[in-house]
């Protein structure tokens, strides 16, 4: 399994895709209703992390409504965007979970961000302004493998006058709420063959993602 790290997001043209909602049930326990997808810009309401300008990358929002049928925790990291044309598998770059209706901030009980690498201050403590590093919180993105595909990850760049620049891929703790809306943001490479995208949860196909993304 290969891995590729794209340029960082620094802490994207609205193009709505009119879709008919599709509902998939995963292992008789998690209902995923795909709502819509669109290309977004840095001015998008939920884009707290800004992407460095690039002619070869686009930012895509995928919106789903999730229902845990047995009120179990919901693993967000199992979502990925698969490009079957270029053999890329994209990790979520940014996620926001919220109850239905407009919301400026993600709710902590719907999944909190965690760093993939440990960053310590001079006292050997984690910086309070950064998402925590906790290896006991599982990252299921790495659990699922797609043979012949390269995993694509986008690290987030944090900056503070005390710590300076900190760069790390992030993932999310499970949602503790059984019913919520998930906005999943992915950063997609566009300087290869025209992407053919599909949303997956683990190894389960959810839906094709139909956007006009031509090579640049």
Reported as a pLDDT band with limits 50, 70 and 90, residue 47 is very low
Q: Can you tell me the distance from the alpha carbon of 64 to that of 156, in angstroms, rounded to the nearest whole number?
A: 23
Q: Which stretches of 69-145 are assigned E, i.e. beta strand?
A: 79-83, 88-90, 94-98, 113-115
Domain map of the chain by residue range? Answer: 2-111+141-157+174-209
Mind listing the pLDDT tens digit for each residue in 129-153?
A: 889 999 999 999 999 999 999 999 9
Q: To the nearest whole percent, how much of the chain has pLDDT over 70?
A: 76
Residue 25, pLDDT > 50, answer: yes
Residue 14: CB atoms within 10 A of its CB come to 10
In this prediction, residues 179-191 reach a mean pLDDT of 94
Q: What is the CATH number of domain 2-111+141-157+174-209?
A: 2.60.40
Strands 150-153 and 2-5: parallel
């Amino acid at each position: 399994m290969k891995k590729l790290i794209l340029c960082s997001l620094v802490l994207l043209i609205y193009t709505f895709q009119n879709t008919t909602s599709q509902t998939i049930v995963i292992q008789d326990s998690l209902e995923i209703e795909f709502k819509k997808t669109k290309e977004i810009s840095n001015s998008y309401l939920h884009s707290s992390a800004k992407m460095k300008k690039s002619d070869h990358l686009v930012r895509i929002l995928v919106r789903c409504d999730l229902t845990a049928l047995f009120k179990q925790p919901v693993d967000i990291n199992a979502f990925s965007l698969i490009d079957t044309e270029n053999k890329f598998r994209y990790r979520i770059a940014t996620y926001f979970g919220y109850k239905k209706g407009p919301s400026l901030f993600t709710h902590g009980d719907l999944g909190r961000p965690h760093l993939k690498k440990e960053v310590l201050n001079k006292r050997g403590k984690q910086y309070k302004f950064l998402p925590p590093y906790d290896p006991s919180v599982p990252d299921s993105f790495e659990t699922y493998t797609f043979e012949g595909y390269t995993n694509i990850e986008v690290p987030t760049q944090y900056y503070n006058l005390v710590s300076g620049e900190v760069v790390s891929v992030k993932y999310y703790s499970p949602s503790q709420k059984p019913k919520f809306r998930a906005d999943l943001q992915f950063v997609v490479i566009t300087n290869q063959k025209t992407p053919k995208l599909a949303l997956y949860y683990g190894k389960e196909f959810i839906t094709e993602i139909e956007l006009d993304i031509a090579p640049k």
